[in-house]
Structure 1
Amino acid sequence: MISDEAFDEEWDLVTDVLVVGFGGAGCSAAITASDLGASVIVLEKMDEHRQGGNLRVSGGVWFSSTSPEKSAEYLRALSGDFPLPEPIVQVWAEETSKNTEWIESLGLPTAVQSTPGPEYPELPGSDGYVGYIGIGGAFGREVLWRSLAQAVNDRPIDVLMETRAVELIQASPGGRVVGLVAERDGKTLRIRARNGVVLATGGFENNSEMVRDYLGIGGEPVVWGSQAGTGDGIKMAMKAGADLWHMDNMMSAVGIRVPDFDSGFLFDPQRLGYVFVGRDGTRFANEVPHMGHGQALVSGSYELFPTKPSIFIFDEATRKHGPVCPNLDLWPVGYNLLVEGYVWSQDNSVEIDKGWIQTADSIRELATIVGLDPTALEETIERYNRSCAEGRDEQFGRSPETLLPISEGPFYACTWGPMLGWTNGGPRRNEHAEVVDPFGQVIGGLYAAGNISSTYSWCKDGGFHIADALAMGRVAGRRASSASATS
């Protein structure tokens, strides 16, 4: 807490609305507040090379639906045993239905990117899910983020790069948020926000302690996207008195960490001749379950998947079939591809030579190299190959069309972890994007949008997170622009 004496000092900067974060929600909030006549400052803690949060390296598309009513029905069903307050459901449904109209109001062209159908077709309301909309129908390649960033730069909005928010300033303990303390170029900045502060700082996937505490994933997390999501905004909000929600929810995928890269690579081989094994050398799950964005259908219910590290085993046929980590031509998303510019070799040979992938002429030898029991791994692969021959996975019910044998040597292995795309939890907010305390009381002058305070309590479909960031960013920008220091 900043002492009362601090308010007698001069502020370094003053604005109506202060937005923390330059990703999807931050851009949306800043543009909206500025267009409503508020002065706006945006803080971005990363440098120009690494700016943009996860939106920059995402698919850059938002979902479309036949109606807000169907969207609301679908969201209720996706929430399952973790129901959302109905006012939030209603605002989310209405605002996400306006995303395309709002993007077009910025002078940006939109088009259908694809119509993949819902990821949870058995749930009520899924028949209203249409597909993806993108800028000019584009997918990935930073198109949406660069378009929104340009819209911000075209407005009288000051964007302060390499400026890290440190602490919220409140008028009194537990009182209204009136600004924050930031650090830039080794100096401290005290920034006054007359109307309020919008937290759009992303999740906590890069904070190993928070990942352990809230997601139950040990070790150092492998992260798919930006390194900006370290939970800073969440901790600041907590210190200001915020309650939390959805802290155990996330989106993860299969990915590996390699030397000299802060983010991980998505493992998505084009040939399905592979298995995952644990430290005991045995399979532990269906490697290709029916999945949504973060949840897999396991034993009749949707569970977070994947959630633990293991070892990925494949053979020469899979190695020769194409890069086990897809490049931009197949999947134009991900930090290492878009920001770092890495191109995975087509036959995986470069990565094998780097030591990222281990290889041996036999399964037994491979087991020894990666520290597994040789007999256990041999038995696992033999059992899996029998399942392939029989067309039935009696262990975990993997679909017959995905059962391709691991039989052609040499054989390969690498250790992978649940690669965190993003986390969903953070400060609890209401339908107006206002942050609330544990008793449901609004913390004046404090708003949240995007992955720092995602709407989604459990399952989520494709294009949902970007839709949420755009929609709730606008809500936060509108609310903050109309607020006053006494409201």
Structure 2
Amino acid sequence: MGNLDRRSFLKGGVVAAGAAAFAGALSACAPSAPQETGAADETLATTGEAWYGSPADPATFDVVDTVDCEVLVCGLGAGGITAAAAAAEKGMNVIAIEKGAGHGSIKSDIGVIGTRIDTVEVDPLQMLNEHTRYANGWCDPRVTRVWATESGATFDWISDSIAEFGATPYFEYDVDEGTHGVWPVYPTDHGFHYTYTEEEQAKADAAVAESGDPAAAQGILPQVGDYMLKKAEEWGADLRYETPFVQLAQDENGKVTGAYAKIGDGYVLFNASKGVILATGGYEANPDLLAELNPDAAAIGGVSMTQAGCEGEGIKAGIWAGGMKDEIPTLMTFARAAVAPDAELGYPYQGMTCWIGDQPFLKVNLDGARVCCETAPYDYPLHVAALQPEYKLASIWDSDYQNQIVAFHTIGCSRINMSDTVDAAGVPTGEGLSFPACDMMIGAAMEAGIVQQADTIEELAEKLRVDPAGLTATVERYNELAAKGVDEDFGKPAKDLLPLSKPPYFGAFFGGHVLCTLDGLRIDEHMRVLNTERKPIEGLYAVGNCSGSMYAGSYPELFIGNANGRTITHARHAVMHIAGEVK
């Protein structure tokens, strides 16, 4: 690529990529906008010795209104939107309460299996067992099986529901050779293309121009979550914003009969005759709680991509009602948080988003030593880094990085080179960040003193505070293995074992994007919250990130969008169980 400098990376940047496309790429692995969380009033949950504290005495609540319904949905993120729409379509009297003034969304990467538009067949039970392997068996495979066997039908239902708005489903089936290192990859990624009016597009373009932020288009151009809520209201759902969930109501036998919510200076008691569905998110936005429950994952964080307000209050409320949380903590995290050589990882986060971080370039510790096979699920090098000095690994690349990224052929929201896949109408799926957007991020990180550039490996090591002799020896060994086409040290595939030989050289330390926690309330295969005896609590369901029983320690990123697909599938299944359609 010739001589490179900061301006080379910044020139054109996102403008060349297209603001709408860049915003869409970012949204694939970004939070799904505000989800309802729990008690906003800290006085309602006195702190006990346990992290989850104690519930307030309902007798102390100034209840100004009592409202009856059949189904109460707490939270309007992906799970709450889906549950509210599914219940309303079935003619149920459903109320959905949301803490914020607006609702969340359903992310653009939707991991599902067996839709009617799929052109590649995937064995759902093979997926089930591979997913169980990711969790080392610390899960309930029956919960995962609901996603594996029902997600395609859920996606088709959503597709039919929003077709009138001009939303067209697509299937991203490109998974390269079907492996990422030794890890199998399956085509699960789905999404929607949208047709916007000139007025909608002009409004979005004006917002981007005014703010300079391509992501500004996200909040203006309606997507699947917005359309599903329109249908939910059309079908009769009662959506109540700025109504934060506080805690659950139970009868003398422990059955959940409804919930208390805050409104103004008082409280509303919602009586739900058929069930309460918690869709309240995880606890990732509470850095102290994250550090307490998952200290190693908290220590590798570099950039917060969390939901404001997702502080575990819904999980706490479920525990107060007799439920239990997954014991093994799980953080969804990707190695895209670049930090300066002298910066510490962990909260307060000091990093900058730089998409190149989870590409399988050479990764070294502060001694300059290579410590792992870089071709791995995108959070694995971060986990390896947690055992290294300062919890850090640096990525090293050279001026041929774009050609090497094309060869790496990563998928999902890790993909930088745009996918060639098209939908039935010949429209590209749009998966991939794009090189102009990637270069913009690298350039901004160079300006901030985070990404380092040098003409020699020794000089790069000094700028990174890495041992020069160690890094020089490592690069020499790495290039020797690349010439052989065999990684004798860690087994990296030959296609990813590419030399570092074209200066200038670049390097940066990467921590994790702190996205969301996945160790929520334990549930059964019908999304019913389980008590400490592993029996369902009558009347209580949990979906999305406030639910558990499916992940343990690591998020299976190579099943693209599976957390999102799980959320919508489980939400619809919970409603089907309430309706008596599944038993």
Query: Is TM (by shorter chain) over 0.5?
Result: yes
Alignment of 1:194-273 (within 5 A): 194-195=272-273, 196-212=275-291, 213-214=293-294, 216-219=296-299, 221=301, 222-224=303-305, 226-227=307-308, 229-245=310-326, 247-256=328-337, 265=353, 267-268=355-356
Deviation at 1:256, TM superposition (A): 0.7
Deviation at 1:476, TM superposition (A): 2.0
What amino acid is aligned across from residue 131 of structure 2 in structure 1? Answer: L
Aligned to 2:157: 102
The partner residue of 1:22 within 69, 73, 76 is 76
1:410 aligns with 2:504: yes
Aligned with 2:256 (options 177, 189, 201): 177
8 Å contact kept, 2:244–2:261? yes
Residue pairs, 1:325-364, within 5 angstroms? 343-346=437-440, 348-364=442-458
Q: For 1:31 and 1:204, locate their aligned partners in 2 and report how far apart those are by CA, in whole Å.
A: 25
- Contact between 1:16 and 1:481, CA under 8 Å: does it hold in 2? no
Contact 1:227–1:263 (Cα < 8 Å) also in 2: no
Instruction: Measure, in 1, the Cα distance between the counterparts of 2:125 and 2:233.
Output: 34
Unaligned 5+ runs, structure 2: 1-54, 196-214, 341-347, 420-428
The 10-residue stretch of structure 1 (451-460 or 240-249) with the greater mean CA deviation from structure 2: 451-460
Query: Residues 23 and 218 (structure 1 numbering): CA distance in 2 closer, same or farther, change over 3 Å?
Result: closer
Alignment of 1:466-481 (within 5 A): 466-480=564-578
Is the alpha carbon distance of 1:247 and 1:234 closer, same or farther for their aligned partners in structure 2, counting shifts above 3 Å? farther
Contact 1:24 1:148 in 2 (8 A): no
Q: Provide the rounded CA distance (Å) in 2 between the counterparts of 1:391 and 1:480.
A: 57
* Cα distance in 2, alignment partners of residues 249 and 319 from structure 1: 32
Work out the CA distance in 2 between the residues paired with 1:175 and 1:130.
43
Give the whole-Å Cα distance in 2 for the aligned partners of 1:188 and 1:131: 45
Deviations 1:322-356 (A, max 9, x none): 9998779669689xx9xxxx955458334322334
Q: 1:88-487 residue pairs with structure 2 within 5 A?
A: 88=143, 91-108=146-163, 111-116=169-174, 131-135=188-192, 143-171=223-251, 175-183=254-262, 187=265, 189-195=267-273, 196-212=275-291, 213-214=293-294, 216-219=296-299, 221=301, 222-224=303-305, 226-227=307-308, 229-245=310-326, 247-256=328-337, 265=353, 267-268=355-356, 274-289=361-376, 291=377, 309-318=392-401, 343-346=437-440, 348-454=442-548, 456-457=550-551, 460=556, 461-480=559-578
Matched, 1:62 2:112: yes
Matched, 1:38 2:116: no
Paired residues of 2:104 and 2:225 also in contact (CA < 8 A)? yes
Q: 1:69 & 1:360 partners in 2: Cα distance?
A: 46
Give yes or no for contact 2:405–2:417 (8 Å, CA) kept in 1.
no
Q: Judging changes above 3 Å, is the alpha-carbon distance between structure 1 residues 236 and 310 closer, same or farther for their aligned structure 2 residues?
A: farther
Indicate whether 1:76 and 2:76 are aligned.
Answer: no
Q: Which amino acid aligns with 2:460?
A: L
SS across alignment from 1:98? helix
- Aligned counterparts of 2:540 and 2:401: Cα–Cα separation in 1: 51
**2:526 counterpart letter in structure 1:** H
| 8 Å contact kept, 2:529–2:542 | yes
CA contact (8 A) 1:319 1:348 kept: no
Structure 1, 417-426 or 343-352: larger mean CA deviation: 343-352
Conservation of the 8 A alpha-carbon contact between 1:16 and 1:39: yes
Letter in 1 for 2:467: D
What SS class does the counterpart of residue 147 from structure 1 fall into? helix
For the Cα contact (< 8 Å) 1:14–1:193, is it kept in 2? yes
Which structure carries more strand by proportion? Answer: 1
Unaligned runs of 5+ in 1: 297-302
Structure 1 residue 270 displacement after superposition: 11
Query: What fraction of aligned residue pairs are identical, expressed as a percent?
Result: 24
Q: How many aligned positions are there? A: 458
Residue 258 of structure 1 deviates from its aligned partner by: 6.9
**How much has 1:30 moved relative to structure 2?**
0.6
Corresponding position of 2:104: 52
Check the 8 A contact 1:315/1:406 in 2, yes or no.
yes
Pairwise CA distance, 1:238: 1.8
TM-score (structure 1 length as normaliser): 0.76
Q: Following TM superposition, by how much is the alpha carbon of 1:448 offset from its aligned partner in structure 2, in angstroms?
A: 0.5
Residues 91 and 431, structure 1, Cα contact 8 Å, conserved in 2: yes
C-alpha distance after superposition, 1:360-416 (max 9, x if no partner):
343333333333222222222222222223322222111122122223333322221
Is 1:116–1:131's contact at 8 Å kept on the other side of the alignment?
no
Would the aligned equivalents of 1:166 and 1:180 in 2 still touch at CA under 8 Å? yes
Moved more, 306-315 or 408-417: 306-315
